[in-house]
Chain A
Amino acid sequence: MGSRGEAGQRTAGRRWRGLRALQSGPTAGLGLLLLPVLIYFLALYAYPLIGMLQRSFRDPATASLTLQYYEKLLNTPAVLRVFAGTFRLATTVTLVALVLGYPVAYLLSKLPRRTAGLLMILVLLPFWTSILVRSYSWMVILGRAGIVNSILQGLGIVSEPLKLMYNSFGVHIGMVHILLPFMILALYSVMQAIDRDLVKSAQSLGATPLQAFLRIFLPLSLPGIGSGCLLVFIQALGFYITPALLGGTSDRTISMAIDLYVNTVINWEFGAAIALVLFVVTFALFLIYNRILGLDRLFGG
């Protein structure tokens, strides 16, 4: 009897506490859960970035503020060429990915959902395979004794092996391959939400299929084009592995220049200055992305 009463009291007590917590609402104080992540990110992400910023503005000998590394950046044609080259590379890769990705996303959005879902797995497989493995595959395919050259020589089409990698051709192929899934995902997530009846009604009003596509579907898919292109372009700007493996000496990207100054030349201040410029550019594009399209769109989410 006594033990039952005790148990009953305990249950009542527990229920009371539960009700009190309920009154304060299941969300009160939840904001505190952000603290661990924020502390972690401030220590291991923001603080290092700020340190990098400081380093690029400080003379290591006198510890005084200086702009010498940025002056050096502007006065080093090799570095400026690398910046221009990387922007050109990122632009071309983005356009090629758009041209290849748009029809695929268009077709996927027209197919029944189940089929589209299955085909999407084929798009996602490269996405989940490591960049290193994929760059290596292209080395196997495009190399001097690679698959393409073996086939072309075997068929007697060329007598000398073609130079397909260690040049910008190889870099473009490898980078488009890695970034294309992002483009397709971004385009598809917008296209599958487009109301197809709009296209049909345009056609029933006398538009040819091409006119209906150009005047109705294409404008409605513009947000997908914008988000896909920005996403691919931003990532392409920071590429390191693929250009380092598949490119030649003239295909150096900004990331490779940073690596060169940090790890080989051991001029950390100058490396930090280059990294900071890349960071500012990327961050500006990130803000534009957020402003126009919203972060929810990231990764087709």
Chain B
Amino acid sequence: MSSLSRKRWLRNRVQVRHILLYLFCILVFAFLLAPILVIIPMSFSSADFLQFPPPSFSLRWYENFFSRQDWLSATMLSLRVAIATSLLSTVLGIMAALALARTSFIGKDLIYAFIVSPMIVPAIIIAVAVLFVYARLRLVGSFLGLVLAHSVLALPYVVINVTASLRTFDIDLEKAAMSLGANRFQAFTKITLPLIRPGVFAGALFAFVISWDELVVALFVSGTKAITLPRRMWISLRQDIDPTIASIATLLVVFASVVLLVVELLRRRTNT
């Protein structure tokens, strides 16, 4: 074989390998996205039960969702819990992030690990442990109980996001403000906070979504009175898979896409 044809043979082989790589990746992307996209046409089905392809299209399952009191009250509760969780964990998270980003002391790494560990500890363990405490304090089935437990799960995300944006913040700006007469609180609220806002906002959004989607802890501590939306969906999924779920799922996918876009935009702003 001449060296020229060997080269061509090698190049072809490289090309074949590239095509295979692209094909494989397209398949993986299809695997990742298909299940999310497939929900959308199913939610507009007119059939009484899940049927593919849908015989014809209608909005009846959306109407069903918006006219059923149990679905709506669950949605409202989830919304309230998620907003409260987001507020609580953002305030606490900013404080922790400030301390972690700007001070150094022995055992700081340990404290950081402690604060982010709920991200890794299985939710079911936190759920069981919290249930034991709540049972004694009569917090099972209460709004407060859900918010307090969800904030434990959400705080790590706020701390990580805010710490990341504080790392790029130039502390001399705060010093300059203070040399011009601002006290420390003013320097923080007028100078630092506006500059780290993307990180704070991303953290708050993370916290909101964590609570909004949270099921495992809710299964244990929401009792019979505080039924959140995921809990209500769970009940419905285990009994009958009626297409109302598809309409809610579609709304949730749209919601998730919006959140994702906002977070991506924020991240870009933090990085530049």
Contacts and interface: CB of A to CB of B under 8 A. Distances in A.
Contacts of A298: 116, 119-120, 160
B145 to A, nearest CB: 10
Contacts of B152: 40-41, 44-45
Contact of A275 (B129, B160, B187, B219): B129
Given A130-B213, A272-B128, A33 B95 contact: yes
B62 to A, nearest CB: 16
B233 interface: yes
A208 B101 CA distance: 46
Interface residues of B, number: 99
Interface in B126-169: 126, 128-133, 148-149, 151-152, 155, 160, 164
Interface in A240-267: 240-241, 245, 255, 258-259, 262-263
Given A48-B129, A131-B215, A272-B128, A125 B256 contact: yes
Contact of A52 (B17, B39, B128, B263): B128
A282 B148 CA distance: 23
Contacts of A268: 132
A135 B230 CA distance: 12
B215 A241 contact: yes
B253 interface: yes
A164 to B, nearest CB: 13
Contact of B148 (A44, A241, A272): A44
Interface string B245-259: 110010011001101
A281 B26 CA distance: 36
B181 A238 contact: no
A210 to B, nearest CB: 8
Nearest to B96: A37
Given A21-B178, A130-B213, A140-B42, A100 B31 contact: yes
B252 A278 contact: no
Interface stretch (A12-20, A186-194, A215-223): A12-20
Contacts, number: 279
Contacts of A22: 175, 178-179
Interface in A100-145: 100-101, 103-104, 106-107, 119, 121-126, 128-141, 143, 145
B125 A137 contact: no
Name A's interface SS.
Answer: helix
Chain B CB count within 10 A is highest, among A17, A18, A283, A301, for A18
A131 to B, nearest CB: 7
Chain A CB count within 10 A is highest, among B52, B177, B212, for B52
Nearest to A135: B237
A293 B140 CA distance: 38
A82 to B, nearest CB: 13
Contacts of A106: 21
B51 to A, nearest CB: 7
B179 A18 contact: yes
A107 B10 CA distance: 20
A55 interface: yes
Interface string A27-65: 100111110111011001111110110010000000000
Given A21-B178, A34-B100, A238 B124 contact: yes
B174 to A, nearest CB: 5
B120 A282 contact: yes
Nearest to A150: B52
B36 A11 contact: no
Nearest to A13: B181
A24 B99 CA distance: 16
A282 B42 contact: no
Contacts of A27: 102-103
Nearest to A139: B241
A51 B177 CA distance: 47
A175 interface: no
Contact of B215 (A21, A55, A132): A132
A228 interface: no
B264 interface: yes
B52 A147 contact: yes
A87 interface: no
A119 B22 CA distance: 13
Interface of B: 10, 14, 17, 21-22, 24-25, 28-29, 31-36, 38-39, 42, 49-53, 92-93, 95-96, 98-100, 102-103, 105, 111-126, 128-133, 148-149, 151-152, 155, 160, 164, 171, 174-175, 177-184, 187, 209, 212-213, 215-216, 219-220, 230, 233-234, 237-238, 241, 245-246, 249, 252-253, 256-257, 259-261, 263-264
Which 7 residue pairs across A and B have the least CB separation, nearest first?
Answer: A238-B122, A48-B129, A137-B35, A130-B213, A15-B181, A33-B95, A37-B96
23 contacts: A18-B183, A22-B175, A31-B103, A34-B95, A44-B148, A48-B130, A48-B132, A52-B125, A103-B28, A104-B28, A131-B215, A132-B237, A134-B35, A136-B237, A136-B246, A137-B38, A143-B241, A150-B52, A240-B123, A255-B124, A255-B216, A299-B119, A301-B164
